[in-house]
């Protein structure tokens, strides 16, 4: 229960959903957690602190460079360092499934700003702190969809495909500084947002489960073990990789 003892971990998009599950699981392993979200993360922080761990919430727009910089500064001011960044914030469950010809360009730009520019901007905000200590872990969250070419969500699938390339290139740039960069790629997870999106559940759940070797719904808790592996020193000699966790729908 102490794999992350004393580590300082920033998790974007952690005020609710899968991000909140990540935050509580990381805290339970001894880490100090920064909940960075455009939404209010105080309830997640209160729950973490009630368990005896330390946490901080900061309002963060991951697509904004100044906001990301303020996030990193707040983490260092409170906890003295940054060891892990989990780039979880993304636009997904609120999207309407539709043909690529029907996607509004403003929506396309918004998805790219959060899902692609966000991890880039946040990585750039924490990298100087990680370089200075010659240690760091950056975990980007992609998806199984780029491996499948899932239709009717072209902007989302494209954004998550970009994360695979971002991870590989960033791993090359940061490896000499003791910083590992990897990707966690979940399948269709029954997060709060997905459960609330009836259309998405109706159109995707049955075919996704049918494609899996382990034929059941995926829950947020299924991601905790792989996430802790990537965030801890257990994966110290691993970088530039993508770990797909989806019950065997994608095998690569």
Over the stretch 87-139, which tens digit does the pLDDT of each residue have?
Answer: 999 999 899 999 999 999 999 999 999 999 999 999 999 999 999 999 999 99
Range 68-82 average pLDDT: 98
Query: C-alpha angle with apex 122: 121 to 124, nearest 5 degrees?
Result: 65
DSSP string covering 138-160: EEEE--SHHHHT-TT-HHHHHHH
What's residue 1's pLDDT?
Answer: 67
Torsion region of 13: left, alpha or beta (phi above 0 gives left; psi -120 to 50 gives alpha): left
User: In this structure, what token pair is assigned to residue 85?
Assistant: 């960044």
pTM of the model: 0.96
Pick the CATH number of 8-244 from 3.10.20.340, 3.30.1330.200, 3.40.50.720, 3.40.50.300: 3.40.50.720
Phi, psi of 4 (to 5 degrees): -115, 20
What's residue 183's pLDDT?
Answer: 98
Q: Is the pLDDT of residue 252 over 90?
A: no
148-205 tens-digit pLDDT: 999 999 999 999 999 999 999 999 999 999 999 999 999 999 987 777 777 877 888 8
Percent of the chain whose pLDDT exceeds 90: 92
DSSP string covering 26-43: HHHTT-EEEEEESS--HH
Select which of 22, 92, 135, 156 is catalytic: 156
Distances (CA, A) of 184 to 47, 109, 169, 179, 252: 25, 23, 16, 16, 13
22 flagged as catalytic: no
What's residue 25's pLDDT?
Answer: 98
């Amino acid at each position: 229960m102490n794999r992350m003892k004393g580590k300082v971990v920033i998790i974007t998009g952690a005020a609710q959903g899968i991000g909140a599950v990540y935050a509580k699981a990381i805290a339970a392993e001894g880490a100090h957690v920064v909940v960075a979200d455009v939404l209010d993360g105080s309830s997640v922080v209160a729950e973490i602190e009630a368990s005896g761990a330390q946490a901080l919430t900061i309002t963060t727009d991951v697509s904004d460079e100044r906001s990301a910089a303020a996030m990193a500064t707040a983490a260092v001011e409170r906890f003295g360092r940054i060891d892990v960044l989990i780039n979880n914030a993304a636009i997904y469950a609120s999207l309407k499934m539709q043909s690529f010809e029907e996607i509004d360009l403003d929506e396309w730009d918004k998805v790219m700003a959060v899902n692609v520019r966000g991890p880039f901007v946040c990585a750039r905000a924490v990298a100087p702190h990680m370089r200075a200590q010659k240690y760091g872990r950056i975990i980007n969250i992609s998806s199984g969809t780029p491996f499948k070419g899932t239709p009717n969500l072209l902007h989302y699938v494209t954004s998550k495909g970009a994360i695979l390339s971002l991870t590989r290139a960033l791993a090359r740039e940061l490896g000499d500084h003791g910083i590992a960069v990897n990707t966690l790629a979940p399948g269709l997870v029954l997060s709060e947002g997905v459960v609330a999106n009836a259309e998405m559940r109706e159109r995707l759940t049955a075919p996704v489960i049918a494609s899996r070797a382990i034929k059941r719904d995926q829950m947020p808790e299924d991601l905790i073990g792989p996430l802790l592996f990537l965030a801890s020193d257990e994966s110290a000699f691993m970088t530039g990789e993508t770990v797909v966790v989806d019950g065997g729908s994608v095998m690569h």
